[in-house]
Amino acid sequence: MSEPDPSPHYFSPTPSSPENRRLLTIPAWGRELTLTTANGVFSADALDRGTAVLLRESAVPTGRPRILDLGCGYGAIALALAVHCPGATVDAVDVNERALALCRDNAVGLGVADRVAVLAPDEVPADRAYDQIWSNPPIRIGKPALHDLLLRWLPRLAPDGVARLVVSKNLGADTLQRWLVEQGFRCKRAATDKGFRVLVVTRSRVG
């Protein structure tokens, strides 16, 4: 979850601010989705630029993939994927309890709750692997925590799985790409738009 950062505690498990729910309409692959947002979650008043770039520069998945939205917030990525890929099952994962509640409600509102599991990280089955991981990762948690996060989830890619990450160039996208390669992953820059990089990550190691 890259800039802008309108809520300084969006990666806190329990936001302390008043909720103040409201509606937000976001564009996703030629369709507008109306979602409920609230204070204390990432980019509550507008679709953030990084997520917009990720959706715009990525093709809609096809088939029946199992997908992880890592750092789902109120569900912009997870729900766009579920709406546009009817065969997909999506795990929407976040530490923010308010964001998880919003994502669950939004999945119900869009009629995809049967294919979108909204989970805290420790609720994900330990043996679950993913065909695709999509993420606007929380860069502002700091480099050590970000590295731990990615090393926890990227190894869950299936052998032919693909992760798509969007990161601001100004917040270290190129450094992150080099680090991912150093960890044994393949990582290429698929797109650059409005100061953001879309990084495509695949496994290149056993285990």
pLDDT digits (tens, 9 = 90+) for 1-28: 333 334 445 566 777 788 999 999 999 9
Give me the amino acid identity at 133: I
Local confidence band at 50 (pLDDT 50, 70, 90 cut-offs): very high
- Which of 174, 79, 181, 183 lies closest to 134, judged by CA? 79
Q: What is the DSSP letter of 53?
A: H
**Residue 105, Cβ density class (10 Å: 0-12 exposed, 13-18 middle, ≥19 buried):** middle
Tokens, residue 34: 């109306």
d(CA 74, CA 101): 8
The three-class DSSP label of residue 57 is coil
Strands 157-168 and 185-193, bridge-based pairing: unpaired
Decide if 13 is inside a domain: no
Which CATH number characterizes residue 142's domain?
3.40.50.150
pTM: 0.92
Per-residue confidence (pLDDT) for residue 10, from 0 to 100: 57
Decide if 3 is inside a domain: no
Per-residue confidence (pLDDT) for residue 2, from 0 to 100: 36
Positive or negative, the CA dihedral 70, 75, 77, 78 is positive
Tokens, residue 1: 């979850």
d(CA 148, CA 164): 17
Per-residue confidence (pLDDT) for residue 6, from 0 to 100: 43
Give me the amino acid identity at 108: V
**Residue 126, Cβ density class (10 Å: 0-12 exposed, 13-18 middle, ≥19 buried):** exposed
Decide if 64 is inside a domain: yes
Per-residue confidence (pLDDT) for residue 5, from 0 to 100: 39
- The count of other CB atoms within 10 Å of the CB of residue 23 is 9
d(CA 8, CA 191): 28
Per-residue confidence (pLDDT) for residue 140, from 0 to 100: 85
Averaged pLDDT for residues 193-199: 95
Is 167:201 a contact under the CB 8 Å cutoff?
Answer: no
The single residue listed with the structure tokens 């802008």 is 4
The single residue listed with the structure tokens 């308010």 is 98
Say how many domains are in the chain.
Answer: 1
* Residue range of the domain that includes 142: 22-203
Per-residue confidence (pLDDT) for residue 204, from 0 to 100: 77
pLDDT digits (tens, 9 = 90+) for 111-147: 999 999 999 999 999 999 999 999 999 998 999 999 9
Decide if 137 is inside a domain: yes
d(CA 135, CA 54): 9
Tokens, residue 116: 């979108």
Q: How far apart are the first and last CA of the chain?
A: 27
